[in-house]
Amino acid sequence: MSTNGFGNISIMTRSMAWLIVCFLVLPITIVFAVSVTDKHYLSLPEQGISFQYYEKLFTSGPWMTSILQSFVIACASTVAAVLLGTLCAIGCWRLGNRASDFVRMLMLVPIMVPTIVYALGIYQFWIDLRLLDSYTGLIIAHIVTGLPYVVITVSTALAGFDPRLEQASLSLGASIGQTLRLVIIPNIKPGVISGAIFAFIHSWDELVLALFIAGRAVFTLPRRMWDGINESLDPTMAAVAAVLIAITVSLLCTDAYTRSRRA
């Protein structure tokens, strides 16, 4: 897109926009400054920078356990959500009737309903099923709340997929299973991958459910960060935040780079 008949916009609007971008980005950078503090409480470095809190983070049993637990839970729930969500989106796309439209709408419900509402329900349910504070319990909750992201991204990818390819495959004698595996899935792979990324981040970053249905044996990273911020004094929290930001930014940049190379 280029500038158009409307002409250039005023310097004032443009500078306001950049100020807003600064408001979005700059506050986050404070985390890096605090994470290298030489003091023993949350503050900016004074005499010099020190990496003691990074060392502390990577040698700390509780933090590393939480990171590992979060990683396992996020991987397991992502795999299941991607599998279920992709099949569901393909089924809805192929049927394309009122009932399947309703299913697709239903799949969006977990995004619209505040997590706190769901947390109460699943808390009660897990008390009955004795799944509180278990991997299974948290993974199931993350699967159903992660499903919408997969259904959305895969549905979007399917909207750009030519249904005649599927018919060609079927009429040439492939079974539905083969058609799925060899024709449909490879064509909608970008959608499946973004769905997986969304589902992973959803689980990795999820706090409210972890507060309600886990908390002793299963203590995820967001849960530990929540405690870390509320107790507020230990700069290790800043080191964790800095590492997470670095990972996110490098993933985003890799993504942008591969896109620009493909384009």
Partner 1 sequence: MSVHASARERRAGLSLLAGTHTRYWLLIAPALFMLCVFYIYPIGRVLWMSVTVPAPGLGNYELLATSASIHKMLLTTARITMVTTVVTLILAYILAYTLVHSSPRTQRWMFLGILIPLWISVLVRAFAWFVLLRRDGLINSVLMSSGIIDTPLSLIWNETGVMIGMIHYMLPLGVLPIYANMRDIDQRCIAAARGLGAKRFEAFRRVFLPLSLPGVVGAGILVFIFSLGFFVTPALLGGGKTLMIAEYIKVQILEVVRWGLGTMLAATLLLLIGGLLAALSRLVNLRKLFGAG
Binding of residue 25 to partner 1 (CB under 8 A): yes
Using CB under 8 A as the binding rule, whether residue 27 contacts partner 1 is answered as yes
- The answer to whether 238 and 34 are in contact (CB under 8 A) is yes
**Given 57, 66, 77, 85, the residue binding partner 1 (CB under 8 A):** 85
**First-to-final CA distance of the chain:** 15
In whole angstroms, the minimum distance from the beta carbon of 119 to partner 1 comes to: 8
Return the structure tokens found at 147.
């499903």
Determine, following the binding rule CB under 8 A, whether residue 214 of this chain makes contact with partner 1. no
User: CA-CA distance, 118 to 137, in Å (whole number)?
Assistant: 13
Please, are residues 43 and 31 in contact by the beta-carbon 8 Å criterion? no
Candidate residues 72, 75, 79, 87; the one interacting with partner 1 per rule CB under 8 A? 87
Task: For residues 140 and 119, give the distance between their C-alpha atoms in angstroms, rounded to a whole number.
Answer: 12
Q: Does residue 49 interact with partner 1 by CB under 8 A? A: no
182 binds partner 1 (CB under 8 A): no
State the minimum distance, in angstroms, from the CB of residue 59 to partner 1: 21
Question: x/- binding map, residues 153-172, to partner 1, per CB under 8 A?
Answer: x-xx--x---xx--x--xx-
Amino acid identity of residue 123, one-letter, is Y
Amino acid at 243: V
Task: Say how far apart CA 53 and CA 40 lie, in whole Å.
Answer: 9
Site string for partner 1, 118-147 (x = CB under 8 A): x-xxxxxx--------------xx-xxx-x
Tokens standing for residue 27: 């506050």
Cα angle 14, 16, 20 (rounded to 5 degrees) comes to 115
Binder to partner 1 among 73, 212, 218, 236 (CB under 8 A)?
212
Binding of partner 1 at residue 117 (CB under 8 A)? Answer: yes
Residue 59 or 230 with smaller CB distance to partner 1? 230
Q: Is residue 263 part of the contact set for partner 1 (CB under 8 A)?
A: no
